[in-house]
Chains A and B, each alone.
Chain A
Amino acid sequence: DTGVSQNPRHKITKRGQNVTFRCDPISEHNRLYWYRQTLGQGPEFLTYFQNEAQLEKSRLLSDRFSAERPKGSFSTLEIQRTEQGDSAMYLCASSFRRGSSYNEQFFGPGTRLTVL
């Protein structure tokens, strides 16, 4: 296993188009997180899943954003009717939660979205 992978690595789209990103977490990691990072800023939390259940969503996640993790493995993040303000790096992270023990989040390389 080589870590968290994300595809595509780069996406350029026109305003108003829909885009979908995929994240493949580390095998057997039951928690998966999505963050958004704009240039020169720290990542901001968007949402996370434990197995297939979406447990929390940020207020940043407008109704144009939807995330799924249908079988508790990979996850997709879809943005509908993209806007220029959606241009950012979208980061995925995964961790393994067992009981109350500490669980490190491992990050993927990110998908850089540019909306023209």
Chain B
Amino acid sequence: AQTVTQSQPEMSVQEAETVTLSCTYDTSESDYYLFWYKQPPSRQMILVIRQEAYKQQNATENRFSVNFQKAAKSFSLKISDSQLGDAAMYFCAYRGNAGGTSYGKLTFGQGTILTVHP
């Protein structure tokens, strides 16, 4: 079974600074997607960024970028120029892409609460 681990229960950052959230995963599949989701307090979860495992280039979406290390099974999220609106719970998630037992469903980590200080 696939597992996703986020070892940082809480992180904090000053506004305009950079913060990195960590995620490791375990899988025997070779084709999969990795995601970072943001869940603001009392609001629904939204997708921040995704990475296809077959792509060596790290994904980037505006101020959000990832460091994908496939051999190490590591997938960290870097938030640059942090803003107050970035404060939320962040989840790392895994999804298989080629059949098998994980196809379709997301497997989430435990989450990291990010606090942004003005």
A residues adjacent to B (C-beta < 8 A) = 3-4, 31, 33, 35, 40-45, 48, 55-56, 91, 93, 97, 100, 102, 104-105, 107-110
Binds A, one of B13-21, B61-69, B70-78, B104-112: B104-112
Q: What residues of chain B have their CB less than 8 Å away from a CB belonging to chain A?
A: 4, 6, 33, 37, 43-47, 50, 52, 91, 93, 97, 104-111
Other A-B pairs, 8, CB within 8 Å; known A33-B104, A40-B111, A43-B108: A3-B44, A33-B106, A41-B111, A102-B33, A104-B47, A105-B106, A107-B44, A110-B44
Closest to A41 in B: B110
| Alpha-carbon distance between A97 and B95 when the two chains are bound, in angstroms | 14
Please report the C-alpha to C-alpha distance between residue A3 and residue B45 in the assembled complex, in whole angstroms.
Answer: 12
* Set of chain A residues within 8 Å of B106, measured between Cβ atoms: 33, 35, 43, 45, 93, 105
Q: Could you list some 29 contacts between A and B, CB below 8 A?
A: A4-B44, A31-B104, A33-B104, A41-B110, A41-B111, A42-B6, A42-B93, A42-B108, A42-B109, A42-B110, A43-B106, A43-B108, A44-B108, A45-B105, A55-B104, A56-B104, A56-B105, A91-B45, A97-B104, A100-B97, A102-B33, A102-B50, A104-B47, A105-B47, A107-B44, A107-B45, A108-B44, A109-B43, A109-B44
Q: Is the CB of B46 within 8 A of A107?
A: yes
Set of chain A residues within 8 Å of B107, measured between Cβ atoms: 45
Q: Are B47 and A33 touching (Cβ within 8 A)? A: no
| Complex: A43 Cα to B89 Cα, angstroms | 12
**Most A CB atoms within 10 A — which of B47, B97, B108?**
B108
**Shortest Cβ distance from B100 into chain A, in angstroms?**
11
